[in-house]
């Protein structure tokens, strides 16, 4: 089994980078969400606050969209790697049975 893991170094590095990107995006979203203002600003002197709220909400929506896409890509990539590794182990065990 360790030989297969060594031979999959590139794939595991890609998986690690994807996972780090998902975690980084989650942390970035958390930082942006801390600046979010949940108060209603209805007076004319608060117009700037309304614009900031709108900009923050738009940023959060974009981060959420990319977070979902990146998380899905990471999970699918992980499942494909897992299936490939299990298939290789199955082939190895089948060859051992046939040769014995």
Residue 34, classed as helix, strand or coil, is helix
Whether 17 and 74 have beta carbons less than 8 Å apart is answered as: no
Phi, psi torsion values for 77, nearest 5 degrees = -60, -45
pLDDT higher than threshold 90 for residue 19:
yes
Question: Which pLDDT value is given to residue 41?
Answer: 58
Q: What is the pLDDT of residues 27-37, one digit of tens each?
A: 999 999 887 76
d(CA 81, CA 75): 10
Q: What is the pLDDT of residues 55-84, one digit of tens each?
A: 888 899 999 999 999 999 999 999 999 999
d(CA 10, CA 81): 11
Question: How many domains are there within the chain?
Answer: 1
Q: Could you list the residue range(s) of the whole structural domain that residue 75 is in?
A: 2-99
- H helix count then E strand count, the chain: 3, 0
Q: What is the pTM of this model?
A: 0.76
Tokens describing residue 74: 């990471």
- In degrees to the nearest 10, what's the CA dihedral of 53, 56, 57, 61? 170
Question: Mean pLDDT of all residues in the chain?
Answer: 84
Dihedral sign for Cα atoms in the order 64, 65, 66, 69: positive
């Amino acid at each position: 089994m360790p030989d297969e893991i060594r031979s999959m170094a590139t794939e595991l590095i890609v998986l690690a980078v994807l996972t780090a990107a998902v975690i980084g995006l989650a942390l970035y979203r958390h930082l942006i969400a801390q600046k979010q203002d949940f108060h209603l600003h209805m007076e004319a002197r608060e117009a700037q606050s309304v614009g900031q709220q709108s900009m923050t909400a738009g940023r959060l929506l974009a981060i959420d969209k990319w977070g979902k896409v990146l998380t899905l890509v990471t999970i699918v990539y992980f499942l494909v790697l897992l299936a490939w590794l299990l298939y290789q182990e199955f082939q190895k065990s089948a060859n051992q049975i046939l040769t014995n």
